[in-house]
């Protein structure tokens, strides 16, 4: 069948039509490719969020399902109190109140003027649950404050001596790790943590930023850390831990614009013999000076005066042909950390609460600089003058929950402050002390 | 990765002019064509490993762009009233006004066609799809495809005639 004359004529004109797309079109394609790459790496952050959500969900579920707390190891040891202490705890106390149950059954309440009695000196037989049974009635040590409500209390139920629901729930899951022996003084743990990094500036910069303080030119950075640790219980409620962690700190640097050739051709020349290039630009930040090893970028500052351009060794490319590709830079410092931390128990129960504090040595592994905020691109430079060894202080809380007698889930809101400026003295622009907030989530195994 | 991006740019530079021409035919505006171009090349780069070397590479790329146009059509399709096939051919008279017009003007006429007419006309007249294939891709009936094509031709003929008359008057 012959083609319709309109089809034929129009296709003849439009078939081989070639139109130059705008220059921005390639940048849009390039950005789109970067976004796709970023999306593929999202699972890391999603995994971290999922682990936090899982911890909360498991903790909440067990809290709702379990009427009695899992007996922690350190409380079990307290059952081995000296005989004198035990007899003291077992004896009728200075003030003993005999009250009648509303149904006529006698209920024997022991009370002391020393309120914390119940938690500290409970005899073995009354720890889980914290009471004894005499003649079918519950007898439990109780504080004076509790007496005000005694009339409303029903007889205490007697807990079965079998496993707790939490043990039952997880015993099959972790059967291969379980033994009949409870966890010992050592525990081994792993954790992962999102970190929000900031820095303190102890002294204003001497460098001339045209009067603009670094605070308004820089911004904190979200990174992550992970590691493993070994913990040893020094005495009940007090343990010491060490290990090895990987962590990243850094910051976003604003007020810098990066330009590239639309075809990503190099802006600066590379030595044909060595294959090396010396990028003629430096950028000063509160956390050191940045130098570049990628010849494809040209930088300019907007309001401040931080881009230092030395002798030009540009290729034949006209600056006018360059296109703005990124706003700002991101400095990232990777550290290997060896911490030494003391952990003190504040409260035990289904969820234990502990206080932690200590110090760590941080060894610089690598430092990178990225164009814009996308850390998935290749690094284009580095920060020079960064100390290779730093000392930091660590503090925070530890929330843990026993899954079995050996396994525990942990969630640890942690603050870390570098005790020395991250930049070497000779390179000092400002006294920047990095600090971070993080939420370590992990699991530990006692043995 | 920088090297890889440079290679991608070379491929882009090689085909972007032709593919932008294709996008302009399917789009109603320059901006829409630019969106198609971006989406098309991202697909090309992400599916590059699936090109098996059979057939012309340019044809493979072009098919991807046509599919991007079809996907965009599906995403924003609006329902035109379904009509039976009308013999618009009876109203069509041969006119060689096309010869005297620039590609830019013809492209503008195609872009001004209603979305569904434009899709059907492009797929039938320029890509060589059959009505059966168009019906499957655009999720319309074959008779609707025929009707849309006929209407598109009538609209294009009218515009071409108007343009030629204007040019004759100007002379």
Please tell me the predicted confidence (pLDDT) of residue B7: 81
Test B24 with A17 for CB contact under 8 angstroms: yes
Test B34 with A22 for CB contact under 8 angstroms: yes
In angstroms, the separation between the Cα of residue A263 and the nearest Cα of chain B is 6
Peptide bond into A129 cis (omega under 30): yes
Q: Which member of A5, A14, A24 has the closest CB to residue B107?
A: A14
Output the CA torsion sign for A63, A66, A67, A73.
negative
A322 and A300 Cβ atoms separated by less than 8 Å: no
CA distance A230 to A240: 8
A414 and A396 Cβ atoms separated by less than 8 Å: yes
Instruction: State the Cα torsion A200-A205-A211-A216 to the nearest 10°.
Output: -20
CA distance A144 to A416: 42
What is the set of domains in chain B, with CATH numbers? 1-76 (1.10.1740.10), 79-171 (1.10.10.10)
Minimal CA–CA distance to A343: which of A238, A440, A198?
Answer: A238
Give A28's contacts in chain B (Cβ within 8 Å).
34, 38
Which residue of chain A comes nearest to B3, CA vs CA? A264
Burial class for A316, CB neighbours closer than 10 Å (0-12, 13-18, 19+): exposed
Would you kindly state where each structural domain of chain A is located, as residue ranges?
73-152, 175-446
| Three-point CA angle B37, B39, B43, nearest 5° | 115
Q: What's the first-to-final CA gap in chain B, in angstroms? A: 57
Please tell me the predicted confidence (pLDDT) of residue A331: 93
Structure tokens at A314: 């540009």
A7 and B125 Cβ atoms separated by less than 8 Å: yes
Please tell me the predicted confidence (pLDDT) of residue A428: 55
Test A29 with B38 for CB contact under 8 angstroms: yes
Which residue of chain B comes nearest to A380, CA vs CA? B2
Pairing of strands A307-309, A351-371: unpaired
CA distance A12 to A26: 28
CA distance A416 to B17: 54
In angstroms, the separation between the Cα of residue A178 and the nearest Cα of chain B is 47
Please tell me the predicted confidence (pLDDT) of residue A153: 46
Q: Which member of A9, A10, A18 has the closest CB to residue B18?
A: A18
Q: Which member of A14, A22, A25 has the closest CB to residue B106?
A: A14
Test B34 with A25 for CB contact under 8 angstroms: yes
Please tell me the predicted confidence (pLDDT) of residue A295: 79
Q: Which CATH architecture has domain A175-446?
A: Beta Barrel (2.40)
Structure tokens at B24: 């302009």
CA distance A44 to A224: 10
* More reliable by pLDDT, A356 or B166: A356
Mean pLDDT of B73-83: 57
CA distance A287 to A333: 10
Minimal CA–CA distance to A204: which of A431, A379, A370, A39?
Answer: A431
B85 touches chain A (CB under 8 A): no
Q: Which member of A14, A20, A264 has the closest CB to residue B25?
A: A14
Which residue of chain B comes nearest to A2, CA vs CA? B125
A344 and A397 Cβ atoms separated by less than 8 Å: no
Please tell me the predicted confidence (pLDDT) of residue A341: 95
β-partners of residue A226 are: A192, A246
Minimal CA–CA distance to A447: which of A182, A72, A190?
Answer: A182
Tokens 């996907």 appear where? B71
B86 touches chain A (CB under 8 A): no
Minimal CA–CA distance to A15: which of B109, B24, B45, B115?
Answer: B24
Tokens 């938690």 appear where? A119
Test B37 with A21 for CB contact under 8 angstroms: yes
**A interface residues, B as partner, C-beta within 8 Å:** 3-7, 9-11, 13-22, 24-26, 28-30, 32-33, 36, 262-265, 294, 296, 377-378
In angstroms, the separation between the Cα of residue B123 and the nearest Cα of chain A is 11
Q: What is the DSSP string of A267-326?
A: SB---TTT------EEEEETTEEEEE--TT-EEEESSS--EEE-S--B-S--GGG-EEEE
- Cα A46 to chain centroid, rounded: 13
* Residue ranges in A113-164 assigned as alpha helix (H): 117-120, 144-147
Helix B30-47 × helix A23-65 angle, to 10°:
70
Residues 6 or more apart whose CB falls under 8 angstroms from that of B55 comprise none
Test A29 with B21 for CB contact under 8 angstroms: no
Give B99's contacts in chain A (Cβ within 8 Å).
9
In angstroms, the separation between the Cα of residue B15 and the nearest Cα of chain A is 9
Q: Within 10 A of A357 (CB to CB), how many other CB atoms are there?
A: 13
Give B134's contacts in chain A (Cβ within 8 Å).
none
- Three-class DSSP labels, chain B: CHHHHHHHHHHHHHHHHHHHHHHHHHCCCHHHHHHHHHHHHHHHHHHHHHCCCCCCHHHHHHHHHHHHHHHHHHHCCCCCCCCCCCCHHHHCCCCCHHHHCCHHHHHHHHHHCCHHHHHHHHHHHHCCCCHHHHHHHHCCCHHHHHHHHHHHHHHHHHHHHHHHHHHHHHC
Test B42 with A9 for CB contact under 8 angstroms: no
User: What SS3 state is found at A343?
Assistant: strand
In angstroms, the separation between the Cα of residue B78 and the nearest Cα of chain A is 25
- Residue by residue, pLDDT tens for chain A (447 residues) are 567 888 888 888 888 788 888 877 888 888 788 777 776 656 666 766 776 677 777 766 766 665 544 444 544 444 444 554 455 444 444 444 444 444 444 444 443 444 433 433 344 444 444 444 444 444 444 444 444 444 444 444 444 444 444 444 444 444 444 444 455 789 999 999 999 999 887 765 555 566 667 777 888 999 999 999 999 999 888 999 999 999 999 999 988 888 887 777 777 776 666 656 667 788 888 888 888 887 788 888 877 777 877 765 555 666 667 788 888 999 999 999 999 999 999 998 888 999 999 999 999 999 999 988 888 888 888 888 888 899 999 999 999 998 888 889 999 999 999 998 888 765 556 678 899 999 999 999 998
């Amino acid at each position: 069948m012959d083609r319709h004359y309109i089809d034929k004529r129009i296709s003849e004109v439009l078939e081989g039509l070639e139109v130059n797309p705008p220059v921005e079109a390639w940048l849009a394609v390039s950005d789109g490719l970067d976004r796709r790459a970023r999306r593929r790496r999202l699972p890391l952050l999603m995994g971290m969020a999922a682990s936090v959500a899982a911890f909360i969900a498991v903790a909440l579920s067990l809290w709702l399902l379990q009427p009695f707390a899992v007996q922690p190891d350190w409380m079990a040891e307290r059952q081995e109190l000296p005989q004198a202490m035990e007899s003291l705890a077992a004896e009728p106390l200075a003030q003993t109140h005999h009250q009648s149950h509303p149904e006529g059954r006698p209920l024997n309440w022991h009370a002391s003027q020393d309120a914390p009695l119940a938690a500290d000196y409970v005899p073995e037989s009354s720890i889980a649950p914290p009471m004894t049974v005499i003649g079918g009635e519950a007898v439990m040590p109780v504080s004076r404050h509790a007496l005000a409500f005694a009339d409303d209390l029903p007889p205490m139920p007697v807990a079965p001596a079998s496993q707790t629901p939490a043990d039952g729930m997880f015993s099959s899951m972790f059967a291969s790790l379980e033994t009949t022996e409870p966890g010992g003084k050592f525990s081994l743990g792993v954790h992962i943590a999102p970190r929000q990094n900031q820095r303190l500036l102890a002294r204003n910069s001497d460098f001339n930023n045209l009067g603009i303080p670094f605070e308004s030119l820089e911004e904190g950075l979200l990174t992550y850390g992970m590691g493993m640790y070994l913990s040893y219980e020094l005495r009940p409620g007090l343990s010491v831990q060490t290990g090895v962690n990987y962590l990243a700190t850094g910051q976003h640097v604003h007020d810098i614009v990066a330009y590239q050739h639309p075809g990503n051709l190099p802006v600066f020349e590379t030595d044909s013999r060595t294959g090396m290039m010396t990028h003629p630009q430096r950028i000063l930040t509160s956390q050191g000076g940045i130098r570049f090893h990628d010849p494809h970028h040209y930088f300019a500052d907007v309001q401040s005066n931080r881009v230092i351009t030395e002798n030009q060794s540009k290729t034949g490319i006209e600056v006018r042909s360059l296109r703005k590709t990124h706003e700002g830079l991101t400095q990232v410092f990777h550290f290997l950390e060896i911490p030494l931390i003391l952990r003190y128990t504040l409260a035990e129960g289904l969820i234990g609460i502990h206080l932690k504090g200590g110090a760590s040595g941080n060894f610089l592994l690598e430092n990178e600089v990225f164009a814009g905020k996308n850390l998935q691109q290749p690094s284009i430079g580095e920060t020079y003058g960064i100390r290779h060894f730093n000392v930091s202080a660590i503090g925070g809380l530890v929330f843990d929950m026993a899954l079995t007698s050996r396994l525990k889930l942990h969630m640890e809101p942690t603050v870390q402050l570098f005790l020395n400026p991250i930049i070497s003295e000779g390179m000092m622009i400002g006294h920047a002390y990095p600090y971070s907030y993080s939420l370590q989530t992990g699991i530990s195994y006692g043995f | 990765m920088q090297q890889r991006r440079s290679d991608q740019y070379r491929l882009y530079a090689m085909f972007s002019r032709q593919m932008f021409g294709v996008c302009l035919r399917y789009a109603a505006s320059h901006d829409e064509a630019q969106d198609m171009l971006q989406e098309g090349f991202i697909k090309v780069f992400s599916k590059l490993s699936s090109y098996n070397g059979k057939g012309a590479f340019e044809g493979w790329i072009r098919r991807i762009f046509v599919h991007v146009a079809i996907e965009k059509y599906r995403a924003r399709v609006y329902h035109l009233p379904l009509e039976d096939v009308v013999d618009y051919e009876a109203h069509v008279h041969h006119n060689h006004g096309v010869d005297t017009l620039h590609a830019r003007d013809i492209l503008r006429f195609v872009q001004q066609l209603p979305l569904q007419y434009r899709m059907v006309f492009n797929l039938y007249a320029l890509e060589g799809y059959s009505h059966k294939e168009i019906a499957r891709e655009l999720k319309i009936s074959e008779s609707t495809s025929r009707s849309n094509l006929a209407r598109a031709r009538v609209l294009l003929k009218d515009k071409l005639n108007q343009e030629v008359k204007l040019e004759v008057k100007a002379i």
